[in-house]
Amino acid sequence: MESADVDGGTDNARVRSDGDDPNPFVRFRRFMAWHAFALSHGMSDAATVELVRDTNDGFRTTPVVRSSSLSDELAFSASGGVWVKDETANVGGSQKARHLMSILLHLRVAESLGIAPWTPESRPSLAISSCGNAAIAAATLAHEVRWPLDVFIPEWAGGVVVSTLESLGANITRCPRRSEDPPGDPTVLRFREAVSRGAIPFSVQGPENALCLDGGRTFGWELAESMIDAGIDDLDALFVQVGGGAFAASVSRGAREAGLRAPLFAVQTEGCAPLARAWTTARDDDAMARHWSDHMWAWETEPRSLADGILDDETYDWVADVVELKATNGRVIVAREKNVIRASQMGPEVVGVNVSPTGSAGLAGLLECRAELADDARVVVAFSGVRRD
């Protein structure tokens, strides 16, 4: 891969898959940081392929298809329309396992080369704070390689996510707010305490573990490959729902690296939209990362939406999101709750995908701004997570 500069410029970069292996962590391995790390420490390329297979060989390129029913419903013409990339059958039921797989491969490379400060018998725990798709992805991957995992969840959590975590052998810690706690989510506080005691941050947020952004790009590479194979290298909009922000940043970056022109339409809900707020000020600040708290702070009111997986009160990866918004000439869309609800119905009923309200929130963004798009516009929405109830 030709290298991309730190401002996100990738004009000369072109990621192309290597062979036709169905597992994207094999097919695109040469473009990922864990693979460069492995080779630079003496591991053979053949051994990296073996390592992917042994870690998790369930990843497959997820389908992207023009939905004629959705395109008709939204009055797009035959030359335009809505393509849906359906991630609901991915490992763990969402895109989160892509982020975590690149962390896990990095750890396993270090372990198998004997350069990690532990042995397979004395592995430190992985740690994550989540009670949703990220936790399930973490538990799925950790279970497969028998790596201990601590999951920090809210005191009130229950239901199918918790029972799935239990069945996968995760070590669950419920986190009530303690009177001496500083402001902030108690599950994040307990997670950070565990990391400071030696646990490994198995996180889907770049500031906690930047290696998660590495594997997230596979979604964008696959998307670009599928669209370019279908003769389309130029989209009018790529709708991606934003919670912590890692997904949008890595998808957009991946699409760009693989030569797909795709303006990022980052979607938040009216009940929690810290990225929309940051975008209005940070877009004109060339030193935005140094002025973090001028642009990003916790959403002041109780975050609320049916799309409850994207209610992060801060967009942790906002700097990378703003880089992508600027580089692709994109925008932030704030979806009204009525469109979040309508999108959650259209996913199963019109498109025929068993997608969750969080997973269809990108479609809510399209509903919000449909009137501003031409009838022959070509747009992509990411259906990122399965409905579990």
Binding site for ligand PLP (CB under 6 A): 94, 132-134, 204, 241-248, 309-310, 358-359, 384-385
DSSP assigned state of 351? I
CB of 181 to ligand PLP, least distance (A): 23
CA distance 102 to 97: 9
Closer to ligand PLP by Cβ: residue 26 or 310: 310
Return the SS3 of 150. strand
CB of 48 to ligand PLP, least distance (A): 26
Closer to ligand PLP by Cβ: residue 109 or 325: 325
CA distance 145 to 120: 10
Encoded tokens for 265: 């339409």
Closer to ligand PLP by Cβ: residue 259 or 274: 274
Residue showing the smallest CB distance to ligand PLP in the complex: 385
Closer to ligand PLP by Cβ: residue 109 or 367: 367
Helix pair angle (45-55, 96-112), 10° resolution: 130
Residues 6+ apart with CB under 8 A from 372: none
The DSSP result for 239-252, as a single string, is EEE-SSSHHHHHHH
CB of 272 to ligand PLP, least distance (A): 11
Closer to ligand PLP by Cβ: residue 98 or 259: 98
Q: Which among 245, 236, 312, 235 has a CA at the least distance from the CA of 282?
A: 245
- Residue in the block written with tokens 């970069």: 13
Closer to ligand PLP by Cβ: residue 246 or 262: 246
Closer to ligand PLP by Cβ: residue 204 or 264: 204
CB of 266 to ligand PLP, least distance (A): 9
CA distance 246 to 96: 10
Helix pair angle (33-40, 212-229), 10° resolution: 120
Encoded tokens for 175: 């986190």
CB of 113 to ligand PLP, least distance (A): 30
CB of 366 to ligand PLP, least distance (A): 15
Q: Which among 221, 205, 225 has a CA at the least distance from the CA of 213?
A: 205
CA distance 144 to 58: 11
Closer to ligand PLP by Cβ: residue 62 or 384: 384
CB of 356 to ligand PLP, least distance (A): 6
CA distances from 372 to 46, 218, 237, 319, 333 (A): 49, 30, 11, 27, 12
CB of 96 to ligand PLP, least distance (A): 6
